[in-house]
Amino acid sequence: MQKRLKAIGKFLSSMRFGILLLVVLALTCVVGSLISQGHPMDWYLQRYPERTAALIYGLRLDDVFHSTWFLVLAVILCGNLLLCNLLHLPGLLQRFRDAADPLKTPKTARITAGVADFPEAVFEKIRMPKPKTIDAEGGKRLFSVKNRIGLWGAWVCHLGILLLIIGFTMGQVTTEEYTVYGVPGQTKPVGDTGYTVTIDDFGVQRSENDTVQQYTTLLTMRDGKTGAQQSASASVNHPAGLYGYRIYQNSVGPAAKVTVTRDGKTAQEEYVCVGDYLYVLNTPLMLYFVQYEDAYYDAGSGKTLPGYAYSTYYMGEQERAGVQVEGDTALTYGSVEISFSDPREYTLLQVKADHFSWLVLLGGVILLIGLALAFFLPMTRVWAVQEADGRWTVSAESRNAGPLFAEQFREAAGIPEAPEETNGKAGEPDA
Amino acid sequence: MGKRVNPMLNVENVLFTITVLLYVAATVFYFLFIVLKQDRLARIASLIQLLGLVVHTAALVCRGIAAGRLPLTNQYEFSTSFAWGLSLVSLIFLRRFKFPVLGAFASPVIILVIGYAALQSREIRELMPSLRSSWLGIHVSTAIIAYGSFGVSFVLGLIFLLREKMQGSAFWNSHVPSREKLDLIGYRSVCLGLLFLSFTMITGAIWAEQAWGSYWSWDPKETWSLVTWLVYAIYLHLRIRRGWKGRAAAIFAVIGFICVIFTYIGVNTFLPGLHSYA
């Protein structure tokens, strides 16, 4: 039993399993990008044969990246990376130490060249640090090593990816996200956080040819518990940061002032955004603002005027739908009159707290460092052993450089013929 | 009255046309070099390619001046920059490893990419607010180097596969590095590409967080960048774990570049998303 568990553990931490996971992940991403995501079952039934649609829905291929099995895949990949890094750590530490030890050079060197009287020149030509001289048992030795840190490349990469996946997954699970929208002067709650956001101002900066350059919202966030408040501005690419939340300028849309009068007196007046409902106070009436067009053709007057498309609901049932153009008579329900005016743009803000985004960023930076170490700092060792006749034999090994390093070494050593390659492996980063 | 065209844009149009002609000329000379086996022709070809790169750079600078920003925001601008990156990386590898056959295989790919650019609209439009960010330059320029490096690894993969068939050719044996060396150069270009692709994805994530409020949205472009990243990660792991070098690695480099092309052109054509402008 213990043997079997050990074998399973070995497989789960193996690179073979890691490669398998990468393949599955790549295929999953392909499927997730080719099947349009996040639609209801009917949508798939209209586009795919019934069985295919059922399969898509059954396997959650309609929302691959938020499915449980995708999360499980991410967790397994984390486990594989973690085990791989933990199990390789002692060996890697040993190799890192040994790499600096002049007496622990490989018995069979990867590249060896017999050389004449002055081996120091070889070290210099291939830009090695000044060699140390050691009086060893077999004779005098010269030894130099560079880029030992490169041995850590793959390990650091794995660590970075691990942090990225953990940060991303934790962020997905714990992120708080709310939307707040309205026109200047309105105060809206930020979900159930106890905070409110007041939109102090909203502006659209346009270029000479009327192209939108920037949307900017000036806002004040207030802590409902303490009464403390802070102001900031949020624009596209420049989110505001208040009370641990990031506030993004997300979207804009049309809004208009809706005035409700009862018996000729104003009973209710507020700005309503397109897509919003307005409950008419003290009535079973509800107004839905469908759309605003600033150039609506009114067949009655034959003019093009601003128009407000609406629906009204009475006791929950749709009662009326139409367009009220500017200057039109108000909608009338007994003594209640409803009219639209003052069209303007509303701002939509996204208020978000992702407590793990720093971990994702850290993981990304570590990954980049790991890749740079693994690919561009190949650990290189050069050593020279003095033979009994006083001449020197210079040997070298360079991970990740193979025949290119061999060529450089041969040139430096002044050896015309190809050096002996005693080890088939070109020497690439450790996994 | 017609719309006034920015004079700098006229200069850019002329320089772009000269660039295409120079790349075509370089390809012709590279072709003659392969056919006639004269080293002099290879030197002329690489000089013409270098001249093409200089003119290409000038064209990009003119466009940048005309647009008042980095020319990296639409299909035309990215395609021409992609061709520029491919030309630059191939010339660097060509000089570094001294084998002009690389140029002979890279130049047709450059022509295909710049030809694709020529088919796109060259109109300069004002940027939407989300693209007005200093991250644009970093994100897209690193993508150009990444794509250029993967393009070179693709070309090296093709040369490797052809070299196998040309074992008996004295010209190939003397003008193309050994298979081991070719394999290693290809591996290095993949390494360079993967480092820059990672950089592209990370800078893109930082920018997306600022612009869209989410650093990763599983948008098709993001997803396919990840697929490309995974394909090259699999390639590297298979090299180490299963010794997939030589022929297998060359085939993998070709597959990887197909993913790159799909990420760039296929996604924009078939899978619209947040990156639809790119």
Asked if B213 is an interface residue toward chain A (Cβ–Cβ < 8 A), one would say: yes
Can you give the pLDDT at residue A426? 36
- The domain limits of chain B are 127-270
Torsion of CA B122, B124, B130, B132, to 10 degrees: 120
Task: Looking at the complex, report in whole angstroms how far the Cα of residue B19 sits from the nearest Cα belonging to chain A.
Answer: 32
Who contacts A407 (Cβ-Cβ below 8 Å, separation ≥6)?
B181
DSSP type of residue B206: H
- The domain limits of chain A are 1-34+67-98+148-175+355-377, 101-146+380-431, 176-353
A250, two tokens: 């997300």
**Nearest residue, CB atoms, B132 vs list A32, A168, A214:** A214
Containing B274, the helix (H) or strand (E) segment is: none
pLDDT tier at A115, thresholds 50, 70, 90: low
- As a CATH number, domain A101-146+380-431 is 3.60.90
Can you give the pLDDT at residue A114? 67
User: A72 versus A402: which is more confidently predicted?
Assistant: A72
Task: Looking at the complex, report in whole angstroms how far the Cα of residue A425 sits from the nearest Cα belonging to chain B.
Answer: 9
Residues of B with Cβ-Cβ distance to A65 under 8 angstroms: 218
Can you give the pLDDT at residue A428? 43
Q: Give the B window 166-185 contacts with A, CB below 8 Å.
A: 178, 180-181, 184-185
Can you give the pLDDT at residue A409? 81
Query: What is the mean pLDDT of the segment spanning A107-118?
Result: 65
B220, two tokens: 């098709």
- CA pair distance B162, B227, nearest whole angstrom: 27
| Nearest residue to B75 (alpha-carbon basis) of B125, B4, B17, B110 | B125
* Interface ipTM: 0.87
**CB spacing of A209 vs B126 below 8 angstroms:** yes
**Nearest residue, CB atoms, A215 vs list B129, B206, B207:** B129
Size of interface A-B (CB pairs under 8 A): 122
Query: What is the mean pLDDT of the segment spanning A195-210?
Result: 92
| Nearest residue to A352 (alpha-carbon basis) of A269, A243, A271 | A243
Asked if A401 is an interface residue toward chain B (Cβ–Cβ < 8 A), one would say: yes
Query: What is the mean pLDDT of the segment spanning A142-151?
Result: 92
Cβ atoms B217, A38 nearer than 8 A: no
- Measured CA angle at A77 (ends A73, A80), to 5 deg: 140
pLDDT tier at A304, thresholds 50, 70, 90: confident
Residue numbers of chain B with a pLDDT score lower than 70: 1-5, 272-278
Q: What is the pLDDT of residues B106-128, one digit of tens each?
A: 999 999 999 999 999 888 888 88
**Nearest residue, CB atoms, B195 vs list A372, A402, A431:** A372
- Measured CA angle at B159 (ends B156, B163), to 5 deg: 140
**CB spacing of B227 vs A367 below 8 angstroms:** no
| Nearest residue to B93 (alpha-carbon basis) of B54, B49, B138, B58 | B49
Can you give the pLDDT at residue B240? 80
Task: Looking at the complex, report in whole angstroms how far the Cα of residue B31 sits from the nearest Cα belonging to chain A.
Answer: 27
Task: Looking at the complex, report in whole angstroms how far the Cα of residue A350 sits from the nearest Cα belonging to chain B.
Answer: 7
Probe site for chain A from B187, B198, B259 (most A CB atoms < 10 A): B198
Residues of A with Cβ-Cβ distance to B234 under 8 angstroms: 19, 22-23, 26
Can you give the pLDDT at residue B272? 66
The overall average pLDDT reported for chain A is 88
pLDDT-wise least confident of A3-12, A209-218, A283-292? A3-12
**CB spacing of B233 vs A25 below 8 angstroms:** no
Residue A430 has pLDDT above 70, yes or no: no
Q: What is the pLDDT of residues B72-99, one digit of tens each?
A: 888 899 899 999 999 998 999 888 888 8
Can you give the pLDDT at residue A271? 93
Can you give the pLDDT at residue B1? 45
